[in-house]
Structure 1
Amino acid sequence: MAKILTFGVYDYFHLGHLRLFEQCRKYADYVIVAVQNGEYIKAFKPEADVLYSTEERVEMISALRIVDEVVVYNTVCPAELEKIDFDILALGEDHVGKRFDEITVWCDAHGKKVVRLKRTPGIASSQIKKELKG
C-alpha cells in the first residue's frame, strides 16, 4: 500500500485543499496530511493571523473521509520527514526554493518519490483572508 504525504497550514480550509487531497489519492491508497503547528507559526511569524488552533485544524482534516491520517509538523525539513512513514511526497507547484530542493534531495536519497500537484485556480487562503478583512 503506497502512502502519500502532503503538508500545509489548512487554517482557512477551502475547496482547493479538498482538491489537493483528491489529487493525492490518485497517487496512493493512503493519504497523510501534515498540519503545521500553530505555536511554531506564531514563533516565527508573530504577525500571522491564524484563525484555528492546531488541534481544531487537525480535527477538521481528520473528519474528511479522503484523509487517512493527520500528523502535526513544525517545518518541512528532513528531520521532520524522518518521523513520518510515507512513500510519496506531494509538493505544490508553488513549493520552490532551497528548502524544497533540500527535501527533494532527501526524498531521492531515501527512496521516496516526489510529485508536483497543481493548485486550484482562483482559490488561495491568502486571498480569502484578504477578502474577509475587506
Structure 2
Amino acid sequence: MQWNWDDYRLSTDIDEFDFDVVHRYLSEVAYWSPGIAREKVERAARHSLAFGLFLGAEQIGYARVITDITTFAYLADVFVLPGHQGTGLGKWMIQCVMAHPDLQGLRRMMLVTSDAHGLYARHGFAASARPERIMEKLGKP
C-alpha cells in the first residue's frame, strides 16, 4: 500500500526500504534498541507489517506492526529522522498506519513509549486499564 502527502510517501513495499537508514537510527539513536544488529532489524521488518516513510527516494522514517492481522497488533520502532521532525509527518504516518485495512477490527493494539504519549493518545491509545496483567520477559538486544 502507499499513501502520499505533498512530496512525502508512506509505503509498505519492503523492497524499497533502506535498511542502512533504519538500522542506523534504531541502533544509534533510538532509546529502545541501542546496538541492535542490522540482521535483526531487517528480519523483524520482513516478519511484520512495515511502513517506510520517504521524501523522494530517501527514507526518512519507519514504523512496523507485529500482528496476526485478526485479533492483536503491537506498534513498534516508530521514528522520523531528526531533520524532518516537527512537520506533522509522525502524526500523518501513525494516521496511515492506523488506517491500514489489515489493522481494522483487532481486539487489541499495544505499544510502549517513554516520550510520545500525546501522539498516540490522538489515535485512541491510553495507559493500560489493567497494568497488573501485563508481563514481559526481556532477552538479548
Q: So what's the TM-score if we normalise by structure 2?
A: 0.29
More strand as a share of residues: 2
Q: So what's the TM-score if we normalise by structure 1?
A: 0.30
More helix as a share of residues: 1
Name which structure has the greater RCO, CA cutoff 8 Å, separation 6+: 1
